[in-house]
Structure 1
């Protein structure tokens, strides 16, 4: 997946943290567990042509979380540009 700039980005996670510049948007979401206005961070990614082919052939989209504890996450498809 390729990192995309997300509309309305509020900050960039950058090389100072050891990663390639990643724009993210801080926004509250309604969570059925944590309630309304739960803080969240949203990033945007674009599948490569090879990944699109594999997704269309039924391959799953995988989410990898670094570390040994799994934070709550959400994964979804964004709006068509």
Structure 2
């Protein structure tokens, strides 16, 4: 997967640590458990090979560092508009 530019990004993290930078959009969502919850949203774009694998039925794997997983959502964003 390649890092994408999330719509309405509010900040870019990681550049000062030597990484390429990850655009993030800060949001507040409503949780049925805890009410309003702050979260961060990033965008990822599949490479042509990954897209072919997804279209062939491959699963998306999410790797979480550490041993205590935080609550998370995995969604599909809007298709990019073409001009």
Change (3 A) 1:67 1:20: farther
Change (3 A) 1:57 1:20: same
Q: Displacement of 1:3 after TM fit?
A: 0.1
- TM-score, length-scaled by structure 1: 0.90
Distance 1:23 1:38 in 2: 20
Q: Displacement of 1:31 after TM fit?
A: 1.4
1:2 counterpart residue number:
2
Distance 1:22 1:47 in 2: 16
Tell me how large the CA RMSD over aligned residues is: 1.2
The answer for unaligned runs of 5 or more in structure 1 is: none
Distance 2:2 2:24 in 1: 14
1:21 counterpart residue number:
21
Matched, 1:12 2:15: no
2:51 counterpart residue number:
52
- TM-score, length-scaled by structure 2: 0.88
The answer for unaligned runs of 5 or more in structure 2 is: none
